[in-house]
Amino acid sequence: MPRVVLGVEYDGSAYCGWQLQDHSPSVQADLEKALAVIADEPIRVHCAGRTDTGVHALEQVVHFDTTAQRKPFNWIQGTNTKMPATVNVHWATEVDENFHARFKAYARRYQYVILNSQMRSALMAKRANWHRYPLDAERMHNAAQHLLGEHDFSSFRAAHCQAAHARRLVSAISVRRHGDYVVLDLTANAFLHHMVRNIAGSLMKVGRGEAEVDWVADVLAQKDRTIAGVTAEPDGLYFVNAFYPEEFTLPYSGRDVSRLLLPI
């Protein structure tokens, strides 16, 4: 039975998140419905990282099993014709049964986009967190370096997070300014619920000058969510991609949020 992998981009503004929900539309539900038409059979998909309400993805990695024999072009174009304009399959490939979008991923990358301007943007209203107060991106970047490595991230964990433990390995983190935009770029082996948004909220506090650069290290050490910054809005959060062992040769596009910021 073929196992198919897709690279899926979506605007999460109109969705309750990735995962199937009885009460609200989800990306998973729309994708499974479209794939079922192309495969002519029910399809259940598995993703690399479930996203919350309002969170976007540039290259969510998804796999599914099917008895249908289709060329990559057919999975891509056929599925896209059945999807709303806010969801798009960019690539498709077949892999062996050892691949799993979630369990074989050894790291995931997120980016958080802040529009740091006195004026809001109509075009980026649901695609960036508008923050009118000046942010010092260099201070934010320096503060973020305290989070590199393996730590207990309880201070940046949502109260209702269901993860078995809070230890995560952050392999890369940076904060860079691109004109009116400030972008937090974070790669880790896995993420806790609201981890990126809680980190973003804390770094923005540093960027406004309300906390010192070393304050982030103190917050991390305390393992106490109540002393960290507020949870940043979901609008600016993007699942960028997941990383897999070299044996799985996936056709990554290598895109990041810079493509969204250039035209603005």
Residue 232 sits in a domain of what CATH number? Answer: 3.30.70.660
Whether residues 114 and 235 share a domain: the answer is: yes
CA angle in degrees (0–180, nearest 5) for 70-71-72: 115
CA–CA separation, 174 and 17 (whole Å): 26
Do 193 and 122 belong together in one domain?
A: yes
264: pLDDT strictly greater than 60: no
247 inside domain: no
Whether residues 79 and 32 share a domain: the answer is: yes
CA angle 194, 166, 245 (to 5 degrees): 85
Check whether residue 25 and residue 100 sit in a common domain.
yes
Helix (H) or strand (E) holding 176: strand 167-178
Q: Is residue 133 part of a domain?
A: yes
Tell me what the mean pLDDT of segment 182-205 comes to. 97
In a domain, 254, yes or no: no
The model carries a pTM of: 0.94
Specify which residues 169 forms β-bridges with.
150
| Same domain (yes/no): 147, 213 | yes
Residue 218 lies in a domain: yes
Is 17 domain-assigned?
Answer: yes
Condensed to tens digits (0 to 9), the pLDDT of residues 14-66 reads 899 998 887 889 999 999 999 999 999 999 999 999 999 999 999 999 999 99
Same domain, 178 and 207: yes
User: Over the stretch 140-159, which tens digit does the pLDDT of each residue have?
Assistant: 999 999 999 999 999 999 98
Name the token pair of 35. 């794939």
Query: Is 11 a residue of the active site?
Result: no
Both 94 and 199 in a single domain? no
Q: Both 167 and 75 in a single domain?
A: no
Among residues 109, 126, 128, 106, the alpha carbon closest in space to that of 117 is found at 128
Rounded Cα–Cα distance for residues 81 and 83 (Å): 6
Residue 225 has pLDDT above 70, yes or no: yes
Residue 202 half-sphere exposure toward CB, CA atoms < 13 A = 31
Phi, psi of 165 (to 5 degrees): -150, 170
**CB atoms closer than 10 angstroms to residue 38:** 20
Number of domains making up the chain: 2
For residue 258, is it within any domain?
no
Average pLDDT in the chain: 94
56-65 and 87-95 as β-strands: parallel, antiparallel, unpaired? unpaired
CB 172 within 8 A of CB 144: no
User: Does 186 lie in the same domain as 153?
Assistant: yes
Evaluate whether residue 186 is within a structural domain: yes
89, 112: one domain:
no
Domain annotation covers residue 41: yes
- Range with lowest mean pLDDT among 16-20, 160-164, 224-228: 160-164
Q: Catalytic pick from 52, 65, 180, 256?
A: 52
Note the pLDDT tens digit of each residue in 206-222.
Answer: 999 999 999 999 999 99
99 with 29, same domain?
A: yes
Range of the structural domain that residue 185 is part of = 107-239
* CATH code (residue 27): 3.30.70.580
Q: End of a domain among 87, 104, 121?
A: 104
Asked whether residue 12 falls in the same domain as residue 24, the answer is: yes
pLDDT digits (tens, 9 = 90+) for 70-80: 999 999 999 99
pLDDT for 238-262, tens place per residue? Answer: 999 999 998 988 988 888 887 777 5
What is the structure's pLDDT at 262?
A: 58
> Domain boundary residue among 104, 132, 155?
104
Query: What per-residue confidence (pLDDT) applies to 177?
Result: 95
Q: Residue 136's pLDDT band (boundaries 50, 70, 90)?
A: very high
